[in-house]
A and B are shown apart, each in its own frame.
Chain A
């Protein structure tokens, strides 16, 4: 049987890799920025350094990697084919890159004109991506909760970017908007409505598939994303004048929903019959423990005003969410997705199955595990630096080194793909 037939509509390998290869270097920039700024950057969530660091990770690392994964994943997992994926990727990715650098520089140096200049690039890049992905997701004949999670996530991305654009223009031109409330709603949609719903939707497929667990309980997969969306909409009502005492009534159920996803994922890992302790499983464990820690910490902040009054509390939550949950989960996913894509696309050359190398040869286990250990060390240092500012520079260096190692591992995987591809072509066994 010719296995290549399955992938004739899947995007070319350059589509996801263009995004994946860029993502870690934004993490390197974030680490170096922290090492350069030192403790000042982490004094509060509103310092120019903290705002720049947040967006280097959220837009540079997370959004780059998630866009690449989305374009690949929806074709393979839910049978949705994006219109001209190579053109979309080669347009969206550089626009996103430019917009991110402009926004980060604008936040860091307090330049309203750069903030304002970034907005049209974001709207063009994300607007284009949202339209083509949404069309593909609505046309696919596939069914299931992963598909619905993808649809909700892409809506969450659109809302996040619109709110972000409004914030950037408000900062640039001094519009009278409730900046604190708008920022809280913007980050809730970005981290919850986009990133976490996408992560959960992908988890429904890849956790059982790659980590050999049982599937997520159907009731959980059915209700997680809709409930999260419901409470995000309720959370957004703070934009309108009202009684602020209601906010814990919205935030606490929201945090309970996040904890359920983390708890169930850890439980699935714990109860699987075949125990594997590869880098992906361990990265997911770190991500889910961070999510639990985030939920407990955020609940404490909502319930105990004396903790909320300390500006470092918000930084603590930011480190847990960005470096703890999303950088960990995304890195773990990339360590499975990249070797798998290498294998898929080498199959596409039409070589016999026996001629295509094993997935485990694409990135060595030692390289992934070593990088994981450095990431965990960097995460612990970042968390410690929130309360011990003297550790900030060291934490920044460790995080930059960990992201650089990830970047190098991904480059090495791409080089192996090219090497095997050339060997198959030279052997004459391809079509």
Chain B
């Protein structure tokens, strides 16, 4: 199952707060899709240090699709 957080029209720090809250309940086989107009470097550091993997794709309209998943094990 994919949970989607559209942070493009949310004022900081709301996108990060919602992402951190969603990750707390993310099941091992699920993923979280975060939509933003910027690269969230602070979030990337949290993810790498807490055992998450992510992909970051840039859409033609400038939206970044950040897909987050728990690393196995």
Contacts and interface: CB of A to CB of B under 8 A. Distances in A.
Contacts, number: 71
A218 interface: yes
B44 A215 contact: no
B20 A212 contact: no
Nearest to A272: B9
A79 B41 contact: yes
Interface string A209-228: 11011111110000000000
A1 B42 CA distance: 14
In the complex, which range does the number of interface residues on chain A fall in? 20 to 34
Interface string B8-19: 111111001100
Contacts of B12: 209-210, 340, 359
Given A2-B50, A214-B61, A214-B62, A7 B42 contact: yes
Interface in A191-231: 205, 208-210, 212-218
B23 interface: yes
A359 B13 contact: yes
A144 B39 contact: yes
A213 B62 CA distance: 11
A343 interface: yes
B38 A212 contact: no
A142 B11 contact: no
B71 interface: no
A215 B46 contact: no
Interface of A: 1-3, 5-7, 9-10, 76-79, 142, 144, 205, 208-210, 212-218, 273-274, 276, 340, 343-344, 353, 359
25 contacts: A1-B20, A1-B23, A3-B46, A5-B45, A5-B46, A5-B49, A6-B45, A6-B46, A10-B42, A77-B39, A78-B41, A205-B38, A208-B62, A209-B12, A209-B38, A210-B12, A212-B9, A213-B37, A217-B62, A276-B11, A340-B12, A344-B13, A353-B20, A353-B21, A359-B12
